[in-house]
Chains A and B, each alone.
Chain A
Amino acid sequence: MEKRVTFKGWLLPLLLIAPQLLISGVFFFYPAAEAVWQSLFIPDPFGLSMQYVGLGNFEYLLSDPYYRASFLTTAVFSTLVTLVSMIPALFLAVLADRLVKGAGAYRTMLIWPYAVAPAVAGVLWLFMFNTRIGIVAWYLGLLGYDWNYVLNQNEAMGLVVVASSWGRISYNFLFYFAALQAVPKSVIEAAAIDGARFWRRFFTIVLPLLSPTTFFLLVVNIVYAFFETFGVIHTITSGGPQQATTILVYKVYADGFVGQDLGSSAAQSVILLLVVGLLTVLQFKFIEKRVHY
């Protein structure tokens, strides 16, 4: 039987959840409602006049093949960012978990990149891969590879994925490392006595036991890739070449804050909100079933 604590009356419970409600209200529900409201208008930038257009902004967006194409770009980008930031993190965590000497130093070094702001990370990667002064671009040139992300769409995508994932690897590492410490040693030892080698033990025992962490990180990283990566894209590619790295959230930023088209920008954020909401619901419905707590 589950234990439940029940409060009498409604005042105390309300008081206890009030801070969270207030924060959600001020920082989520109010701005979200405002976005929905604004998405029904075409305002001028100075707020002097507004034209009510109903669903016109949505119609305009969804009938634009370039906007629809950016859904695919976003899907590719988010999948890559999630994979590139989670798999190396797990690998590093497994290695760090086996360390006997100097574990603290390695851990600190591995967590460090998380402290670098995304836009700064973008500039760092830009310097390394810049076609004129980038050291990596220079070495690639020596190897006979003509690195040119300003015109090559795949290279541009690769570069923004790596730049966006780099700092996230540390974040994911932290969670995986903590989760690995919580895996009961007795289970591992029993398997070892039965003759299972390290990677066999990892795939059949450790990985399933990590599934709650993996699921949590999957949700969090996808949300990150959808919402928080425009700084990196802005500094490295500005969405180009052509539209190769124009993901949905970058277009929200570019149309709203550079183009002053607030109606379209608001409609795009509503669409983005729906997409991510739907994605999260799907994840909880279908993937969470495979998670062992």
Chain B
Amino acid sequence: MKNFALGALVASSTLLSPFAAFAQTDIQFWHAFTGRLGELVDAQVAQFNASQSDYKVVANYKGNYSETLNAGIAAFRAGEQPDILMVFEVGTATMMAAKGAVKPVYQVMADAGVPFNSDDYIGAVKGYYTTTDGKMLSLPFNSSTPVLWVNRDLLDKAGVAKDADLSTWESIGPVLDKLKAAGVDCPMTTAWQSWIQLENLSAYHNVPFASKENGFGGLDAKLEFNGPVQVKHIQTLGDWAKKGEFIYKGRRNEGGADFRAGSCALFTESSAGYAGIKAEAKFNFEVHPLPYWSDVAGAPQNTIIGGASLWVMEGKPAEDYKGVAEFLSFLSSPEVQAKWHQDTGYLPITKAAADLTREQGFYKENPGTDVAVIQMTTKEPTENSKGIRLGNFDQIRGIIDEELEAVWSGDKTAQDALDTAVTRGNQLLRRFEQANR
């Protein structure tokens, strides 16, 4: 019924368009979604275009996150930038530093007179994209957070009790031993090792990843992820890797295919892995909160987000910005957000969308889908857990990948690898500082 109504709206807008076309302003929107997510974005755009006749949003897929950011930067240099550009979370510092290239979202909204309150957004989502004094610079679009995915069939096979504790890393160790002893080839694997095993680990245990509030406080931040908590965690994973209990599959989410195929028992991956796992897994799976170290005071704090936000580019005609404001406001409405959250496994970015999803009974019908929401929202974010904002961060993650690989292969100790990663990463931070002086 809902789809029929949407279809009717789209159809009627197409019929009416010859008359409306005279006054319509095109809004260019570049994004990084293809496949199922691409279809969902297109549906959102079609719904917006059908809902009014002044603006027409034109959505374009520009490749993966890195490629989309590159396309936006190259286009800006040529004076051909889109109105709205999707940028992944590690590109946040790059965009923020580009004063004169981007128009902050709070300002776009204020100029257009569209009602906008950044307090409507979930704290840990909002924090990533706002200035230290609470002004929202880009609109959170798709946000997820890491959780623990569990293949219950493999755990049963290994004789792990149904109610065995999986909430702490201390309790995960014996479970891995059992899995290994039962002949499971891949007791545990991870996706996005830097994001999950270092960035989120730091936030979750309320220890700094970098100085200056993880870089929120200024460009002169220094990396600090070689502290005792991080070293202990990485060393533990390294020891598990040596025993064949933690299996490294690659720098991105290569492990996802192994988990969905049923060969890995435990898998730390984004909550947005939900759609794929639900579609492909031919076994009983569960979602658990990300484990933490129980001997760290204050843990678990909250995890941080990954994903992308929408940046408004500078240098477009004034009438465009009014349309941009309308579109962004439409995207954050509870109905649109709740549907996005339920379709994709991404977090609902506003409290209203989360409430609406609960009222609709979605969490009851799909147990585990609210784990990520709870994990992010039970505590107010601290300086160490509201996000990470570092220049050249994509490159720094590359360095972390390299050094972690040295730990997994047994070439370096965790302390040695993390110390080296900090030294090398700091050089990149100083370069970014220099470039944006």
Q: Give the interface of A toward B (CB within 8 A).
A: 42-49, 51, 53, 60, 64, 66, 131-133, 150-153, 238-243, 254-255, 257-261, 263-264
Q: With A151-B409, A258-B66, A259-B392 as given contacts, are A45 and B261 in contact (CB-CB < 8 Å)?
A: no
CA distance A259 to B94 in the complex (A): 10
User: Which chain A residues lie closer than 8 Å to B229 at the CB level?
Assistant: none
CA distance A257 to B395 in the complex (A): 11
Residue of B nearest to A258 (CB): B66
Interface residue B132 (Cβ < 8 Å from any Cβ of A): no
Contact B427 A242 (CB under 8 A): no
In B64-111, the 8 Å CB interface with A consists of: 66, 69-70, 73, 76-77, 94, 97-101
Q: With A66-B424, A260-B94 as given contacts, are A150 and B77 in contact (CB-CB < 8 Å)?
A: no
Interface residue B39 (Cβ < 8 Å from any Cβ of A): no
Contact A132 B257 (CB under 8 A): yes
Contact B431 A42 (CB under 8 A): yes
Interface residue B212 (Cβ < 8 Å from any Cβ of A): no
Contact B101 A46 (CB under 8 A): yes
Contact B394 A240 (CB under 8 A): no
User: Which chain B residues lie closer than 8 Å to A240 at the CB level?
Assistant: 251, 401-402, 405
Interface residue B284 (Cβ < 8 Å from any Cβ of A): no
Interface on chain B toward A: helix, strand, loop, or mixed SS?
Answer: helix
Contact A151 B76 (CB under 8 A): no
Question: Chain B 246-273, CB within 8 Å of chain A: the 1/0 string?
Answer: 0011110010011001010000000000
User: Which chain B residues lie closer than 8 Å to A242 at the CB level?
Assistant: 402-403, 405-406, 409, 411
Interface residue B55 (Cβ < 8 Å from any Cβ of A): no
Interface residue B162 (Cβ < 8 Å from any Cβ of A): no
CA distance A133 to B263 in the complex (A): 12
Contact B392 A238 (CB under 8 A): no
B358 to chain A, nearest CB (A): 38
Contact B101 A255 (CB under 8 A): no
Contact A44 B97 (CB under 8 A): yes
Can you list 29 A-B contacts with CB-CB less than 8 angstroms, sorted by A residue number? A42-B431, A42-B434, A44-B97, A45-B98, A47-B76, A48-B98, A48-B100, A49-B436, A51-B437, A64-B427, A131-B249, A132-B257, A132-B263, A151-B248, A152-B409, A238-B398, A239-B398, A239-B402, A240-B251, A240-B402, A241-B402, A242-B405, A242-B409, A242-B411, A257-B70, A258-B66, A258-B395, A260-B73, A260-B94
- Known contacts A132-B249, A132-B254; can you find 18 more A-B pairs with CB under 8 A? A44-B435, A45-B98, A46-B73, A46-B76, A46-B98, A46-B100, A47-B77, A48-B100, A66-B424, A131-B249, A132-B261, A133-B257, A151-B409, A239-B402, A242-B402, A242-B403, A260-B94, A264-B431
User: Which chain A residues lie closer than 8 Å to B434 at the CB level?
Assistant: 42, 51, 53
Contact A255 B395 (CB under 8 A): yes
Interface size in chain B (residues, C-beta < 8 A): 41
In B388-422, the 8 Å CB interface with A consists of: 392, 394-395, 398, 401-403, 405-406, 408-409, 411
B26 to chain A, nearest CB (A): 23
The 9 lowest CB-CB distance pairs between A and B, nearest first, are: A259-B395, A46-B101, A241-B405, A42-B435, A151-B409, A47-B77, A46-B98, A242-B402, A44-B435
Give the contacting residue for A151; candidates B73, B408, B427; CB below 8 A. B408
A281 to chain B, nearest CB (A): 33
Give the contacting residue for B258; candidates A132, A153, A239, A255; CB below 8 A. A132
CA distance A132 to B424 in the complex (A): 32
Give the contacting residue for B94; candidates A45, A51, A66, A243; CB below 8 A. A45
B159 to chain A, nearest CB (A): 26
Residue of A nearest to B98 (CB): A46
Residue of B nearest to A146 (CB): B244
User: Which chain B residues lie closer than 8 Å to A151 at the CB level?
Assistant: 248, 405, 408-409
